[in-house]
Amino acid sequence: MIVRTEAEIMKNWKNDISSPLVSICTRTYNLENFITEALDSFLMQETDFPFEIVIDDDCSTDETVEVIKRYMEKFPNIINADLLEKNIGVRMNFIKNMQRAKGKYIAPCDGDDYWTDSSNLQKHIDFLEKNDDYVVTYSSMETIFEEGMKKRTFNWNIEDRESREIQKNFLGTGICALCFRNVDIIKEYPFEHHCAPIDDNFLASMLGAYGKGKFLKDIKAAIYRQHGDGDYSSKTIYEKAVMYEQNYFALYMYYLRIGDRPLSNYFYKKVMKYSFIVHGRFYYTELLLKSFIWQVIQYVRRLPKRIIVKVIRILKRLG
């Protein structure tokens, strides 16, 4: 555990902790081997504004919760944890975690990843506060492969991006390297997300509707950890391909529902391209449709009756 005290972290804050400017949002599930490094990287941040650490643990069965509780005792005014007693799944946990954020900005970083730059938050916020036409900033990222502890710099995108480009092609970096405005879509997140396995790509497409993206080259790389228990990194190449296709299909359905024909057509073509290559066009499209409908049904069952009626009306219009 980091040696800094809560008072030392808060000494330069200009505003009260009750109104954090930034919410560091992190999800955990059975991450006892990694969560300490993540939390220490958050608590080492040097800022002149208050931040909170919003943790949602999805009913871990290892010692993750015990580790979080120890941090809560030492940093009670900074750490805001929801330690679930029933597993709700990675998609729902992702949404609930962000929706609990009180900050004007959200800096997501899962509990098995971490930051290496103590000025990470300050640099993101300094830019966003001065540039209202940008919705998101992002930095470079390095991947650590736990088997052998190899590192690889992950710089698919080192360029700024326009809004439409973000909606189509996302941000080209991992979620641990992002900071974005806490925009309206976070509070009323599209239900299609429950059918999209790759959270950061779906989220990025939503953010693109609110502004541009800025690459901040002077921030040290965030660390994305690949290990056997990771939601994405544990998958085979085939399983990852299916995850991408499911993401494209969910985005197609979302943009079709809200009436953005150019984007819905764009993602429809992405689905068609991949489905033809991997499985044959008609077979894979039918598979995606069945999967989408099944996951929507599972999601709808947990909603109040009035919301269920609304969703059914939407699906009938799409039909």
Quote the pTM value: 0.83
pLDDT (tens, 9 = 90+) of the chain, 319 residues, equals 899 999 999 999 988 888 999 999 999 999 999 999 999 999 999 999 999 999 999 999 999 999 999 999 999 999 999 999 999 988 899 999 999 999 999 999 999 999 999 999 999 999 999 999 999 999 999 888 766 555 665 556 688 999 999 999 999 888 999 999 999 999 989 989 888 888 889 999 999 999 999 999 999 999 998 765 555 555 677 777 778 888 999 999 999 999 999 999 999 988 887 776 666 555 556 666 777 777 777 776 776 777 667 767 776 776 5
Q: Which residues sit opposite 261 in a β-bridge?
A: none
Handedness of CA 256, 191, 234, 166 (dihedral sign): positive
| pLDDT at 228 (0 to 100) | 57
What is the predicted pLDDT for the residue at 91?
A: 87
Q: How far apart are CA 37 and CA 14, in angstroms?
A: 27
Work out the number of other CB atoms within 10 angstroms of the CB of residue 133.
9
Q: Which of 180, 79, 198, 178 is nearest to 138 (CA)?
A: 178
What domains, with CATH codes, occur in the chain?
6-226 (3.90.550.10), 237-318 (no CATH)
What CA–CA distance (Å, rounded) separates 315 from 319? Answer: 6
Query: Rounded to whole angstroms, what are the CA distances from 211 to 132, 137, 173, 232, 294?
Result: 8, 11, 17, 28, 33
